[in-house]
Structure 1
Amino acid sequence: MGTVLCVITEDFADFEITLALHKIRNVGKRNVVTVGYDKQAVTSESGLTYLPDITVAEAMELADVEGLLIPGGPILEQRAELTELIRKLNREEKLLAAICNGPQYLGRSGILDNLSFTTSCSEEQIGKLGVEDPFPRINFIEKRVVRDGHVITAQGRAFVDYAFAVYDYLGIYDGKEEKQAQLYKDVMDR
């Protein structure tokens, strides 16, 4: 049984990843592990409190990681250890799946420089925040979900489609009748 990591930070959008994690754990029989910068509790956008299972530094030492899910939330600074974890998993061609504003972490890590991606975070929003745009906009595609190799990105409104793209990548429903739902028709594979 492999491990799927999920980064949780203050004000993360928990609703964007709960469906994906529920089926990954209960249907796919994967170990789901929450990862934080430290082991302090964080409060999600919905007001629920979460306690990370391990730190980003501890995640670097895990051997059976299949992928990393990154929920949306506010545009935040990115610590070097998260960049290092993302780059490590990218080198190993593990799943990197980010939704809504979550692709900001992939962008700052250089992962999106040569890949097609989508995000809910527009150039206009970045401009209003007065921060550096973490996205290589030339590679942006206006789709609900975009898969480019082992990287899946999604707009926040597409959290169900995102979940099914992740299931597909991980083979969660391979050979199961439930797969016939085909809920993510506008996923763009490259």
Structure 2
Amino acid sequence: MGKIICFISEDFADFEITLAFHKIRNIGKREVLSMGYNVETVVSESGLYYKPNVTINEAMELSDIEGLIIPGGPIRNQRKELTDFIIKLDQEGKMLAAICNGPQYLGRAGILHTCKFTTSCSIESINKLKVEDPFPRENYIDKRVVRERHVITAKGRAFVDFSFEIFHYLGVYQNADEERELFHDIMNR
């Protein structure tokens, strides 16, 4: 089994990805690595401290990467090395999954110009921030989760749906009944 990389940066929304990574690691038996611009500790939106396992440049050299997951967080600038990493994974047909404001990074890398997507970041929010809109709005779909080819995007409130779309894409659950039962248990409690 391969590696699933998670890009983390200051104030990232850790709650949006914990279910996904818990099951990817424990049921899907994938290696999970956090990645940052450097290996300095970052503080998540919830106040927890996280230290990246690898830098983006180190991740570029890794083999057996199955995908990248990008949690939400503030709208912020994007460094070239992250753009290059996303483009590399896209060209290799690896899973690119981003939630809430996380799709901003896929947008700036040009990935969302060729597929449908969703995000929690409205045009009104972008206008208030007075920053360039990273999203090709003509490809936006107002749905909880959108998957096209190897690209999965979701609104922040849909973190359970997002997780299950990732599970389905990666084949984490060999038994479809077990996956449905877990989804039902989580959503109906």
Q: 2:32 corresponds to which residue?
A: 32
Secondary structure of residue in 2 paired with 1:128: helix
1:82-161 to 2 correspondences below 5 Å: 82-161=82-161
Residue of structure 2 in register with 1:188 after alignment: none
The aligned amino acid for 2:132 is E
Structure 1 residue 105 displacement after superposition = 0.1
CA root-mean-square deviation? 1.2
Cα offset for 1:183? 4.4
Cα distance in 2 for partners of 1:14, 1:126 equals: 22
**Residue aligning to 2:187:** none
Are 2:8 and 1:11 aligned? no
Identity %: 64
Provide the aligned length of Structure 1 versus Structure 2: 184
Give CA deviations for 1:112-168 in whole Å, capped at 9, x if unaligned: 001000000000000000000000000000000000000000000000000000000
Q: Which has the higher helix share?
A: 2
The residue aligned with 1:50 is 50
Q: Deviations over 1:41-97 (max 9, x none)?
A: 000000000000000000000110000000000001000000000000000000000
Match of 2:68 in 1: 68
Using structure 2 for the length normalisation, give the TM-score: 0.95
Q: How much does 1:178 deviate?
A: 1.6
Larger displacement relative to structure 2 (78-87 or 167-176):
167-176
Partner of 1:177: 177
Distance in 2 of aligned mates of 1:136 and 1:183: 32
Alignment gaps of 5+ in structure 1: 185-190
Provide the rounded CA distance (Å) in 2 between the counterparts of 1:181 and 1:156: 23
Q: Distance in 1 between matches of 2:177 and 2:149?
A: 25
Q: For residues 114 and 35 of structure 1, what CA distance do their matches in structure 2 show?
A: 25
CA distance in 2, matches of 1:13, 1:57: 23
Cα distance in 2 for partners of 1:171, 1:101 equals 25
Q: Distance in 1 between matches of 2:174 and 2:27?
A: 11
Which amino acid counterpart does residue 63 of structure 1 have in structure 2? S
CA distance in 2, matches of 1:174, 1:112: 30
The TM-score normalised by the length of structure 1 is 0.95
